[in-house]
Chains A and B, each alone.
Chain A
Amino acid sequence: MKNTILTLLMMTSLIAFNSKSIQSQVPGYKIGEAVDDFNLKNIDGNIVSLASLNTNGAIVIFTCNHCPYAKAYESRIIDLDRKYKSLGYPVVAINPNSVGQNGEDSPDENKIMANDKGFNFPYLKDEKQEVTNAFGAKRTPTAYVLKKENGKFILKYAGAIDDNSQSAESATKKYVELAIGELLIGKSVTITNSKSIGCGIKFKNV
Chain B
Amino acid sequence: MPNSNCKRMNKIIKLVIFSCLLIVNQAFTQGKSELISFSQLEEMLNEESDNVYIVNFWATWCGPCLAELPAIQRFYEKNTDSTVKLLLVSFDFPNEIKKVNKFIERKNLKPKVYLISDTDQNAFIDKVSKNWQGTIPATWFVNNHKNKKILIEKPLNEEEINRYLNEIK
Contacts and interface: CB of A to CB of B under 8 A. Distances in A.
A200 B135 contact: yes
B62 A200 contact: yes
B26 interface: no
B91 A72 contact: no
Contacts of A200: 62-64, 135-136
A105 to B, nearest CB: 12
Interface string B87-106: 00001111110000000000
Candidate in B63, B121, B126 with the most chain A CB atoms within 10 angstroms:
B121
Nearest to B123: A163
A199 B61 contact: yes
B119 A160 contact: no
A133 B90 CA distance: 27
A191 to B, nearest CB: 9
A192 interface: no
Given A138-B133, A139-B134, A139-B135, A196 B122 contact: yes
A68 B136 contact: no
B interface residue count range (under 10 / 10 to 19 / 20 to 34 / 35 or more): 20 to 34
B84 interface: no
Interface string A175-206: 00000000000000000001111111010000
B159 interface: no
B48 interface: no
A14 B126 CA distance: 34
Nearest to A164: B119
Contact of B125 (A164, A197, A199): A197
B122 A160 contact: yes
B77 interface: no
A170 interface: yes
Contacts of A164: 119-120
B61 A165 contact: no
Given A68-B93, A138-B133, A138-B135, A197 B61 contact: no
B126 A195 contact: yes
A199 B121 contact: no
Nearest to A193: B122
Given A68-B61, A164-B119, 11 more contacts: A138-B133, A163-B120, A163-B121, A165-B93, A166-B93, A166-B95, A195-B121, A196-B121, A196-B134, A197-B134, A200-B62
24 contacts: A67-B61, A138-B134, A139-B133, A139-B135, A160-B121, A160-B122, A163-B120, A163-B121, A163-B122, A163-B123, A164-B120, A165-B121, A166-B93, A167-B119, A170-B119, A195-B125, A195-B126, A195-B133, A197-B91, A197-B125, A197-B134, A198-B134, A199-B61, A200-B136
The 8 closest A-B pairs by CB, nearest first: A195-B125, A164-B119, A194-B122, A163-B120, A195-B134, A196-B121, A197-B121, A197-B91
